[in-house]
Copies of this chain bind each other. A is one copy, B any other.
Amino acid sequence: MAERVVVVGLGLIGGSLAKALTGRAGCTVLGIDQNPAVVEKAVACGAIAREADAADLRDADVLYLCLYPQATIDFVRAHGAEIGRQCVVTDTCGVKSAVCPALQALSAEYGFPFVGGHPMAGKEKNGFDVSEAALFDGASYLLTPCGAPEAAVETLRGLAVRMGFGGVVVTTPEHHDEMIAYTSQVPHILACAYVLSPRCLEHRGYSAGSYRDVSRVARINEQLWTELFLDNGAALSRELGTLAEHLAQLKRAVDQKDAETLRRLLRQGRERKESMGE
């Protein structure tokens, strides 16, 4: 049972993992953050036992990297030699093809096992202050083992269960990125495109759940998501193209007052949703 864990990057995701690993999984959690005030806060509230140093990277059972994609690679490049060969290294990036090959190469170079990871949870706010152990309750945890030993995958799976994740899905970086382009990236692009309409400014009083739901994730962290979108540009572009095509079909039916086509497309949408048991 993994007990010594280091979490690098104590933002929303790293802070929440630290809190869940400490409070729910019973691990001894050490933390690293570029902001000393955040480390202090994390110690003060008990999310981490103390700040981690190079010796802790050598002795850890698991290392959770909770940084932006390029920063994740940069950290392992800078500290790879300090990481113990027993330590399961995993990231939390929302894209996998853009980070896993580099981390796999570093894993081969330094001897530690690497398993790509993506905890499917978030908020419209960032930072340690909004992190919470309950963030992952019932959420899906996506793992891309990329050839790592089964034991490393099982270590992460076990911790995920103890933290309260709803399930673990093991897949390839490529399939992960195709699915995420659809399930997560397109909705974020959509939310931004949607609120850019001039009508948005006067929606108050004229809106209900539909507006709220589509626009919710427009409160985006544009630094992070620009990196995520460009790191997954090909898959994201394909999905945006598919969506644009379906939207154009529906718009054409409206423009041509083609009730039959419109009804058919809407019925297909409803049946698709119902066929998923939703």
**Nearest 3 A/B pairs, CB to CB:** A192-B269, A187-B210, A182-B199
CB A180 to nearest CB in B, in angstroms, measures 7
Bound complex: CA A126 to CA B7 (Å): 48
Instruction: Say whether A218 faces chain B, with CB atoms less than 8 Å apart.
Output: yes
A219 near B276 with CB under 8 A, answer no
Interface size class of A (residues with CB under 8 A): 35 or more
Bound complex: CA A15 to CA B167 (Å): 40
Instruction: Say whether A134 faces chain B, with CB atoms less than 8 Å apart.
Output: no
Q: List 14 A-B contacts (CB under 8 A).
A: A122-B208, A178-B199, A180-B206, A183-B211, A189-B251, A190-B190, A192-B266, A193-B269, A196-B272, A204-B276, A214-B214, A237-B251, A244-B244, A244-B251
A interface, CB within 8 angstroms of B: 120-122, 139-140, 142, 167, 169, 176, 178-184, 186-211, 213-223, 225-226, 229-230, 233, 236-237, 239-244, 246-251, 254-255, 257, 259, 262-263, 265-270, 272-274, 276, 278
- Whether A206 touches B120, Cβ cut-off 8 Å, given contacts A196-B268, A200-B272, A272-B218, is yes
Which partner residue on chain B sits nearest A251 by CB separation? B240
Bound complex: CA A254 to CA B236 (Å): 8
B197 near A265 with CB under 8 A, answer no
A121 near B208 with CB under 8 A, answer yes
A219 near B273 with CB under 8 A, answer yes
Known: A139-B208, A182-B199, A183-B207. 7 other contacts (CB 8 A): A179-B207, A197-B242, A197-B243, A203-B276, A213-B216, A219-B274, A229-B262
Which partner residue on chain B sits nearest A277 by CB separation? B204
B254 near A207 with CB under 8 A, answer no
